Homo-oligomer: A and B are copies of this chain.
Amino acid sequence: MKILVANPNRSQELLNQLMESARSRVTNPATQLIPFLNPLGSTHLDCYFADYQATWSFTREVIATVEEQDIDAVVVAGFGNFGVYALKEALNIPVLSIAECSQTLACMLGHKYSVLTVLQQNVPYQEDLVALFRLTDKCASVRGVDINIGDWSTDEGVFHNLKCAITNIVDNDGADVIVLGGARFATYAKRLEKELGITIIDPVLVTVKQAEMMVETGLIHSKKRKFHHPPQPLETYCFMGERHNRFCDKKEKS
């Protein structure tokens, strides 16, 4: 089984981190995790503008890769929107967003969950996602860490800052599950869980496992109604003027 771990970002370093999370718990020898980098993506995905600028090429390339490499499931490994519904429309294999999957699982694991995101400016964007997923009733809060306070240069400093932020959320917002909405936070998940005694979710890890489970069970998003294939052939939507990209070239040749 081949699972594409698709980073909407162009950062190889971030992808390496994602793959580490992704691989940490895969035990099935038949499961192959394929790393994917968005060739025309930005290195920053921190606002609505970034989301739209990254996603057009991301979705095209993911679709092309799925066909070329016979992929069984796609994990959209950015904690945001990044066209996950567009991919669900276009593809006939499971497509899972780490933001959607981690928050959906969080619903089963406690009374209320909170999302800890990297930037305070990013909170409304994340709250919009919660509304899109219709999970508002289970979400205690979305909070951003304050990168202007505390030491973020050392591991110990980051751990301390995250611990304070989470303690604050648990005490004030009533959450008992925390979703780490920043890839760079994932390495602290287990240690935070241990010291704080609450469930901390590393989105990439659980989503990769969920993808594996979906392939094994044959479960897939419904292709009727919301995620019906687009009404037109995909290349119709991908006009590039004189500058067609790989995706369209390939489609037109076939």
Binds B, one of A12-20, A41-49, A64-72, A151-159: A41-49
CA distance A42 to B197 in the complex (A): 28
Nearest B residue to A110, CB-CB: B222
Are B110 and A226 touching (Cβ within 8 A)? yes
With contact pairs A52-B86, A231-B121 given, residues A217 and B209 touching in the complex (Cβ less than 8 Å): yes
Are A42 and B238 touching (Cβ within 8 A)? yes
Are B25 and A228 touching (Cβ within 8 A)? no
The answer to the question of A168 belonging to the interface, with a C-beta cut-off of 8 Å to chain B, is: no
Are B216 and A209 touching (Cβ within 8 A)? yes
Are A220 and B199 touching (Cβ within 8 A)? yes
The answer to the question of A83 belonging to the interface, with a C-beta cut-off of 8 Å to chain B, is: yes
CA distance A28 to B59 in the complex (A): 32
- Taking the nearest CB of chain B, how far is it from the CB of A97, in angstroms? 8
The answer to the question of A250 belonging to the interface, with a C-beta cut-off of 8 Å to chain B, is: no
Chain B contacts for A89, CB-based, 8 A: 47-49
With contact pairs A48-B85, A50-B230, A123-B174 given, residues A206 and B217 touching in the complex (Cβ less than 8 Å): yes
CA distance A69 to B218 in the complex (A): 31
The answer to the question of A128 belonging to the interface, with a C-beta cut-off of 8 Å to chain B, is: yes
Interface residues of A in 218-254 (CB under 8 A from B): 218-228, 230-232, 234, 236-241, 243
Neighbour of A49 across the interface among B59, B132, B136, CB < 8 A: B59
The answer to the question of A187 belonging to the interface, with a C-beta cut-off of 8 Å to chain B, is: no
CA distance A224 to B231 in the complex (A): 36
